[in-house]
Amino acid sequence: MVRLRRRWALGLLLGGVSAAALGTTEPVLGRHRTGTLVRRPGPPVPAENRAPGEPWWPDSGGLAADDRQRQIQGYASATSVAPGESIDFHVAVNSASRFRISIHRLGWYGGAGARTLLTSREFQGSPQPVPPSDPRTGAIACQWPVSWTLRVPGHWTSGLYQAVFQSTDGWRACTPFVVRDDRRAAALCVVLPATTWQAYNQWPMDRRNGKSLYNGYGATGLRNPLLRAREVCFDRPYADEGMPSQFDKDQDAVQWLERSGYDVSYATSLDLHTGRLDPTRHRGIVFCGHDEYWSREMRLAAEAAVAAGTSLAFFGANSIYWHARIRPADDGRPERVVACAKAVADPDADGSGPTTTWRALRTPEQALIGVQYNGVVLTPQPLVVRSADHWVWAGTGVANGDRIPGLVGGEADGLRRGTPQPTGVDAAILSRSPYPAAQGGRRVQNAHVYETPKGAVVFATGTLNWTMALNRPGVQDERIKRATANVLDRMVGRSAGATGQGRPTPPTPA
């Protein structure tokens, strides 16, 4: 029998379980306080995906902007908003011309991948400057005027959205944002890694001005890590056409989750930081992408959630690696700057400690996730199955030693000997995959899962290529889809088929 967490079971006793907890896609019967049976609406995301869709970034019909010419680019005033709130868009057009902004919700939509919700009227665009970087921190913060303010309609469904800027002469760019659902607790909340998106953003990539938390440009026009910024600001476009680093893998996760009919809502890493996202309201939190930069507030919230029985799924790798500080813009607007000095000698260290690796702070990521980053994968490698009789692999047909091609790629995690790991839990290593590391030599990737006495499941794929196997044409793998569904179904209590099949192999360092 599927285990029911206490607060969910209590709902059954008090008059019926919601469609959200069940993960159903149709309305369910509930009982009004008068005793009358009423139909309650099912989860909004499956209903939203029955609407007709169209690609938000079609293969034809526009030219992608770039940072050399900056034909059209823009940024948003917030990373997330709730229905009824407003979000500003700041757009620059390099040769003065008119433009429109269209708003698209990303999802499954029968394979179309998005639905267009509205298109603005035409605006007159004008060039805007690339401001100089802050001489102390390297941050680049634009002060472009507001081009358009969107008040998010109350009926819009929580999701990952894209604002697309298109000029009348055919150039286009975009910027992402999230619409939250602060009123209703979905079974799963998907967290988009906004802090990591900005950390990697080197706008403008013009070989002169751009800076990220990784590189700046030297006199030769080549990237130089010695000239990197130690702060980056959301008040600027994302590089070139506006899609953040690894954004395609975030899209893969979103499409598969919505195609699979899960009851989901959406938030960003900044919502976890501020407390707008309370993980304990949900049965599980899905960190869908490359989620490398975490503030102290984010980590404490995730740890408290697991302690309370909320599950976590890490679909990427190299998560919770850097301790970051989130601060306001110079004019006081909150959550606009991500700071990471990447050194113990942090000139701006505060009560949260220096912005360096979590390992240097003696709180390694493995203590929460179960595994931790151990290298950059030089060339994609097969994931080698271990613990094939574990419930995660149930129904996949795999055997120990089976190789799933190309699944270990980008960056990888592994279980590290001598490093703290969760205690008092039921844990298993799900793969043991050797790979050639860009740092030299060969290392071993591990997917990992553990369950706490409170019923929380913490799952880590240990690779950046996992979500490609969920959704990407030509890369999809039915075994990975089934294993991922087993994990999420166990988190939300949706499927009795997720019960264990045999004892897991005890975790031992690779």
Q: Where do the structural domains in the chain lie, given as residue ranges?
A: 6-42
| The predicted structure's pLDDT at residue 60 | 78
- Tell me, what's the pLDDT at 266? 98
* CA dist., res. 487 & res. 390, Å (int): 11
Q: Which helix (H) or strand (E) holds 500?
A: none
Q: Specify the pLDDT at position 14.
A: 30
Q: Round to whole Å and give the CA distance between 38 and 29.
A: 6
Query: What is the largest distance, in Å, between two alpha-carbon atoms of the chain?
Result: 76
Q: In this structure, what DSSP letter does residue 357 have?
A: B
pLDDT for the residue 39:
60
Contact 180/267 with Cβ under 8 angstroms? yes
Residue 21 CA to residue 23 CA, distance in Å, equals 5
Before 380, cis peptide (omega within 30)?
no
User: Which residues share a beta bridge with 264?
Assistant: 188
Across the strands, what pairs with 179?
81, 159
Q: Which residue shows structure tokens 């002469």?
A: 169
Rounded to the nearest 5 percent, the helix, strand and coil shares of the chain are 20, 30, 55
Rounded to 5°, angle at Cα 305 from 303 and 311: 105
Given a contact cutoff of 8 angstroms between Cβ atoms, the answer to whether 358 and 294 are in contact is: yes
Please list the pLDDT of the chain residue by residue as tens digits (510 residues): 333 333 333 333 332 223 333 344 444 444 444 555 556 668 999 999 999 999 999 887 789 999 999 999 999 999 999 999 999 999 999 988 999 999 999 999 999 999 999 999 999 999 999 999 999 999 999 999 999 999 999 999 999 999 999 999 999 999 999 999 999 999 999 999 999 999 999 999 999 999 999 999 999 999 999 999 999 999 999 999 999 999 999 999 999 999 999 999 999 999 999 999 999 999 999 999 999 999 999 999 999 999 999 999 999 999 999 999 999 999 999 999 999 999 999 999 999 999 999 999 999 999 999 999 999 999 999 999 999 999 999 999 999 999 999 999 999 999 999 999 999 999 999 999 999 999 999 999 999 999 999 999 999 999 999 999 999 999 999 999 999 999 999 999 965 333 333 333 334 444
